[in-house]
Copies of this chain bind each other. A is one copy, B any other.
Amino acid sequence: MSGCPFSGKEYQFKITYSTTEEEDDSQRGIDKAAKGGLIYGKYLQLDKILNAQALESEKRHSKSHDEHLFIVTHQAYELWFKQVLWELDSVRELFIQNHVPDERNMLKVVSRIHRITVILKLLVNQFAVLETMTPLDFFDFREYLFPASGFQSLQFRLLEIKVGVADNRRVPYNRQHYRENFHGQESEDLLRSEQEPSLLQLVEKWLERTPGLEEDGFNFWGKLQANIEEGFKLKMQKLEKEPDSERKEDMLQDLKKQREGFTSLFDSNHHDDLLRKGERRLSYKGLQGALMIYFYREELQFQIPFQLLNSLMEVDTLMNKWRYHHVCMVHRMIGSKAGTGGSSGYHYLRSTIGDRYKVFVDLFNLTTYLVPRDWVPKIEPQH
């Protein structure tokens, strides 16, 4: 900045404000911009941002008013995708540089993942703007868009990869790998990001390090298994004592089923099986770490980790909601017509909704294994 005496931190502390005459107070101050220096429009490079809207329909002398909305909406989405990637990469970096053992960085991690959820929420709400375009008005310029398609959105794919969407769970598109939509530098960017650790993989390693999992230490898993077996045994015994009845039979069946469910939880082969199928994503030890954080969330060292797990599930939920809103809008806009990228449009998009693309699916499913508080292994008080 220039020799302006009023720039810099010291300025704020010299002037005091009286609040008795508000009209005058709102007048106080000097017009700094007149003295030269950073300008709003230049700082934000608005010459680029606001000169990037060229209507295809106009190029073809058939200007469609609504095409401007179509362009601006997509540009806004891509701007926010860039911001989400900025936050996501910074969090991944903190994990990669092993800065997370320094628990002071956990606040940053949780705040930034939470920020991602706030942006995703906005992006879900943003569909309402494009939905003010009628299918009839869209039809007027859609033909000029072929073959451009959202399949060519590099940032959307980077987002999926860096969060941890499983390549082998993707819905095949035209029997091709999604990466074949990209060429040159973009294709390289995608390849490189696939080789770097995703948020899922980094969180998994972090979960495996959860204090208390050590078998020769607190041995959370061993203690939990013992408590659950004991708990079911007592429940069974109590139920057996009841006079025979149809209700008692039903309740015994339910109890047996529950116990079987828990038995499978402690079966590491069963877990590996589901891992191979892609129905689970976390390692067995990672799963244990997550369940431990759930049960001991009120302990000081687990409070922020617990918030992180909730925010990660929120990311999955919002990505899914985004996909769903997108599908609803596409169906309204083009019915059963083919997409501009050549896919079946609506049908393809609909198949991407659900657990296939859910990255932190295990965190959701862990609630299957919640137990009464008194079954949770007790922590000896520290002195």
Q: Which residues in window 18-66 of A have CB below 8 A to B? A: 19, 22-23, 25-35, 37-46, 48-54, 56, 65
A80-88, A199-207, A247-255, A312-320: which lies at the B interface? Answer: A80-88
The segment out of A115-123, A232-240, A279-287, A302-310 that lies at the interface is A115-123
User: Which residues A105-159 have CB closer than 8 A to chain B?
Assistant: 111, 114-115, 118-119, 121-122, 125-126, 128-129, 132, 143-155
Quick one: CB contact mask for A62-105 with B, threshold 8 Å, 1 for yes?
A: 00010011011011101110110011001000000000000000
In the complex, what distance in Å separates the CA atom of A29 from the CA atom of B173? 9
Determine if A210 is an interface residue (Cβ-Cβ < 8 Å): no
From B17, B75, B114, B338, A79 is in contact (CB under 8 Å) with B75
**A171 near B: Cβ within 8 Å?**
yes
Tell me if A369 counts as interface (CB < 8 A to partner B): no
CB of A208, distance to nearest CB on chain B (Å): 27
Give the contacts of A186-228 with B (CB-CB under 8 A).
Answer: 186
A72 partner, pick from B1, B82, B171, B341, beta carbons under 8 A:
B82
Stretch at the interface among A7-15, A267-275, A290-298: A7-15
In the assembled complex, A379 has its CB within 8 A of some CB on chain B? no
- The one of B8, B39, B174, B181 in contact with A143, judged by C-beta atoms closer than 8 angstroms, is B8
A348 nearest CB across to chain B (Å)? 4
Distance between A173 CB and nearest chain B CB, rounded to angstroms: 8
Assess whether A377 is interfacial by the CB under 8 Å rule. Answer: no
B86 touches A146 (CB 8 A): no
Q: Could you say which residues of chain B place their CB within 8 Å of the CB of A87?
A: 69
Which residues from chain B contact A51 at a C-beta distance below 8 Å? 48
A148 and B338 form a contact (CB under 8 A):
no
With an 8 A cutoff between CB atoms, is A332 at the interface? no
Q: CA–CA, A151 to B153, complex, Å?
A: 35
A339 to B7, CA, bound (A): 11
A176 at interface, CB cutoff 8 A: yes
Q: Which residues of chain B are near A246, meaning CB under 8 Å?
A: none
* Chain B residue nearest to A36 in the complex (CB): B147
Given A152-B39, A342-B6, residue A69 in contact with residue B82 (CB < 8 A): no
Closest Cβ neighbor of A84 among chain B residues: B72
Note all chain B residues with C-beta closer than 8 A to A30.
174, 342
CB atoms of B143 and A115 under 8 A apart: no
Note all chain B residues with C-beta closer than 8 A to A278: none
A181 CA to B37 CA, complexed, in Å: 13
Partner of A344, one of B1, B25, B33, B75: B25
Q: Does A380 contact B (CB under 8 A)?
A: no
The answer to whether A50 and B82 have CB atoms under 8 Å apart is yes
Nearest residue in B to A40 (C-beta to C-beta)? B152
Residue contact B31 to A53, C-beta cutoff 8 Å: no
Q: When the two chains form the complex, which single residue of B26, B40, B153, B348 contacts A150, counting CB atoms closer than 8 Å? A: B40
| Bound-state Cα–Cα, A90 to B137, Å | 15
A336 at the binding interface (Cβ < 8 Å): yes
Complex CA–CA separation, A303 to B227 (angstroms)? 69
Nearest residue, chain B, Cβ from A9: B143
Counting CB contacts under 8 A, is A259 at the interface? no
Q: List 8 A-B contacts (CB under 8 A).
A: A6-B338, A17-B347, A41-B153, A44-B78, A50-B78, A69-B87, A114-B132, A122-B128
Interface contacts beyond A30-B342, A45-B75: sample of 5 additional A-B pairs, CB < 8 Å, sorted by A: A28-B344, A28-B347, A31-B180, A33-B151, A38-B145
